[in-house]
Amino acid sequence: MNPFAYTSPRNTTDASALAVPNGDFALPVLKSGGMDLLDRMKEGLERPDLVVDLTRIDDPTLDAIDAGRIGGRVTLAMVAESEELRKSAPILGAASGSAATPQVRNVATVAGNLLQETRCWYWRMSQFDCLRKTGDDCPAREGDHRFHVIFQDGPCLMVHPSNLAPALFVLDGEVEVVGGDRTRIPIRDLYADPAVDWRSASVLSPAEIITGIRFKSAPNSAFIALKQKQSFDWPMVSGYAVLDLDGDVIKSARTCAGAVAPRPHPLPQVDAALAGLSIHDEARIRAACEISVDGADPLPGTAYKMTLLPVAIRRAVAAAAHSAGTARGGDA
């Protein structure tokens, strides 16, 4: 790590001010848990001259959990353990509890999880330049891209790393921000269109700080990660589903796919096909989930994800229907 200064502001106003490049510090950076930031600093991808620590801000709302809101500094472990959330939106605990390792989840925050950088292995190695850095090419395209996209929504082939972001997509979530001229950003607008901007981790300005997330309650919601390895692995593909049920009938559905596109990938066509189906109508639910791959354009090395995606969505729908929302991983 390069030399840097460190500061722990006590309020978000100071933190915002410090996070903007200025005369004293040209490369300030915000740090919550640091699980992603330190990784990048160790690899030399990030060389801040000032680390602005957000863990000592004096504001209990940053740590609060309610039925429809989670403070930005809440850790993934706390999300996973929350009884409140298990009732209101079990998908959040399931997605958080399946991410990373217990040690990481005890430190990683909700805000940091949404804003973490890609895990593309080319990007993470400092010797490779690429489209997402300063270059004109994507070495993953001709290279080993087994963990990359099937939806080529932009020239960069990374998949979005966050377990949590797609959950917020299906919950119609918003992020609360301070430091700019807006206070809420719908989650669907938090990430730039990868066809236009393939370099930014989000649309936030340097001064903007995420202080919380808000979401609709969804007792029938579930998350499924299909992992190669069950103890700590990134999902090969993940499926997210929220169902609005009338008895056994799906009044409306919200589904989203993870680890297949540069952003969380909502599946409106699946949602439409699920609407009106009985949760016991396995054949038609299966057919509805099959179309989750519509529009996909897999790479040679990601063709297997075409098989996995409909399965992940179908299993998420099934788990949501039976409000077993905390199905952990694919070991079901």
Partner 1 sequence: MSQPPRDLRAINAGQSVADHATRLDGLEKATGAARYGRDQIKKDMLWVRLIRCPWGRASLDSLDRDAALATPGVVEVVVSGDAGEYHGDSIGYVVARNRRALERGLQALDATWTRLDCKTGILDDEKARAPMGDPSAETAKAIDDAAFTFEATYSTPVQTHSSLETHGLMIEPDGENSIVHASTQGTFVVADQIGRFLGKPRSKIIIDCEHVGGGFGSKFQIGKEGAAGGLAAKTSGEAVYSFCDREEEHLDTGNRPSLLCKVRLGHDADGTIRGARFETFGGTGVSRRGGGARVPSGRFEFGTLDSPNHQDIQFNAGGPRAMRAPGCPQGAFVEELLIDEIAHRCGLDPLALRRRLDDSERRQRMYDVAADLIGWENRADTGSQTGTMRTGYGIGTCHWGKGRAPAKIEVVVHPDGHLEVRTGTQDIGTGQRTAMAALVAARIGVPLANISVAIGNSMLPAGPASGGSVCTPSTAPAAMAAADLARERILAGVAEREKLDADRLTIDDGVIMEGGRKVIRWEDACRRLSEPVSVTGEFDGQASAHWGEGSSEGVQAARVEVDCETGQIFVRDVIAIQSCGLPLVRKTAESQIMGGVIQGTSYALFEEQVLDPGTGAVLNANFENYKILGSEDCPRIVPVLWRDDQTGVRALGEPPVVPTAAAIANAVFNAIGRPVRDLPLRPDRVLAALAEPMAERVVAAAPRNADLENRA
Partner 2 sequence: MNGGGPTIIGPLPAKTSLQVNGRQLDFVAEPATTLLEALREQCDVTGPKEVCDRAACGGCTVLLDERPVASCMMLALDATDRKITTVEGIGSVDAPDPLQMAMAEFDAMQCGFCTPGVVTAAKALLIQNPRPNLDEIRAALSGNLCRCGTYPNIFNAVLVASGQEPVEEPTDRGRSASGERA
Binding site residues, ligand SF4, CB under 6 A? 118, 120, 122-123, 130-132, 138-140, 148, 156-158
- 9 forms part of the interface with ligand FAD (CB under 6 A): no
Q: To the nearest whole angstrom, how small is the minimum distance from the Cβ of residue 147 to partner 2?
A: 15
Among ligand FAD, ligand SF4, partner 1, none, the one that 161 touches (CB under a kind-dependent 5 to 8 A) is ligand FAD
- 44 vs 268 by CB, closer to ligand SF4: 44
Among ligand SF4, partner 2, ligand FAD, none, the one that 118 touches (CB under a kind-dependent 5 to 8 A) is ligand SF4
Q: Which of 25, 198, 234, 240 binds ligand FAD (CB under 6 A)?
A: 234
Among partner 2, ligand FAD, partner 1, none, the one that 304 touches (CB under a kind-dependent 5 to 8 A) is partner 1
- 100 forms part of the interface with partner 2 (CB under 8 A): yes
Q: Which of 16, 36, 254, 315 binds ligand FAD (CB under 6 A)?
A: 36
Beta bridge mates, 249? 246, 278
Please provide the distance, in angstroms rounded to a whole number, between the alpha carbons at the two ends of the chain.
42
- 16 vs 302 by CB, closer to partner 2: 16
What phi and psi, each to the nearest 5 degrees, are found at residue 31?
-130, 125
**What six digits make up the tokens of 248?**
């056994």
- 101 vs 307 by CB, closer to ligand FAD: 101
Interface with ligand FAD by CB under 6 A: which residues?
29-37, 39, 54, 72, 99-101, 104, 107-109, 111-113, 115-116, 161-163, 209-210, 234
Interface with partner 2 by CB under 8 A: which residues?
1-10, 14, 17-18, 24, 34-35, 38-39, 42, 49-51, 53, 55-56, 77, 100-104, 106-107, 230-232
